[in-house]
Amino acid sequence: MQTNNEIVLIRGLPGSGKSTAAQNMRGYKHIEADMFLLVDGEYVYDAAKVKAAHDWCVAQAKENLDKGLNVVISNTFVKLWELDRYIKLGYRYRIIEMRGNFKNIHGVPQDRIQSMAKHWEKI
């Protein structure tokens, strides 16, 4: 697919600054799986909805890219295969890794973050 628009994939552990970086990217539609888990504007984690959230995120990315928009996705992407669904959409892409250490806005427990760090796959 030949277009000038692109998808930026921002990866990092919870609290690394992914969402903030994505929100500050002018000219890009910001999408993240966590948006699917908002209930009346509040983030409500539901393990049963995680797969649907990621499916929704990919669908939203494709829809917006197909409209000619630039898209930025901010998800953890702990495993490299998690990036593949976005790369296979066929648009130009960039991957940015965030390594900040801020308060995570979704209340992810520290032991879960440590587990994610242990399983982190480097590019």
CATH number of residue 44's parent domain: 3.40.50.300
Q: Is residue 1 a part of any domain in this protein? A: no
Q: Is residue 13 a part of any domain in this protein? A: yes
Residue 43 has pLDDT above 90, yes or no: no
Domain with 53 in it: 6-118
Mean pLDDT, all residues of the chain: 92
Q: What is the pLDDT of residue 3?
A: 66
**56 near 36, Cβ under 8 Å?**
yes
How far apart CA 88 and CA 105 sit, in angstroms, is 30
Q: Is residue 72 a part of any domain in this protein? A: yes
At 65, the amino acid letter reads L
When comparing pLDDT for 41 and 103, which is higher?
41
Q: Is residue 67 a part of any domain in this protein? A: yes
**Structural domain total, the chain:** 1
What are 32's two structure tokens?
């993240």
Task: Say if pTM beats, i.e. exceeds, 0.85.
Answer: yes
Q: How many angstroms separate the Cα of 14 from the Cα of each of 26, 57, 73? A: 22, 17, 14
Q: Lay out the sheet containing 6-11: strands in order across.
A: 28-31, 70-74, 6-11, 92-97
When comparing pLDDT for 27 and 1, which is higher?
27
DSSP at 3: -
**106 near 46, Cβ under 8 Å?**
no
- Where helices occur in the chain by DSSP H, the ranges are 18-23, 50-66, 81-87, 110-118
What are 101's two structure tokens?
């250490």
Q: Is residue 50 a part of any domain in this protein? A: yes
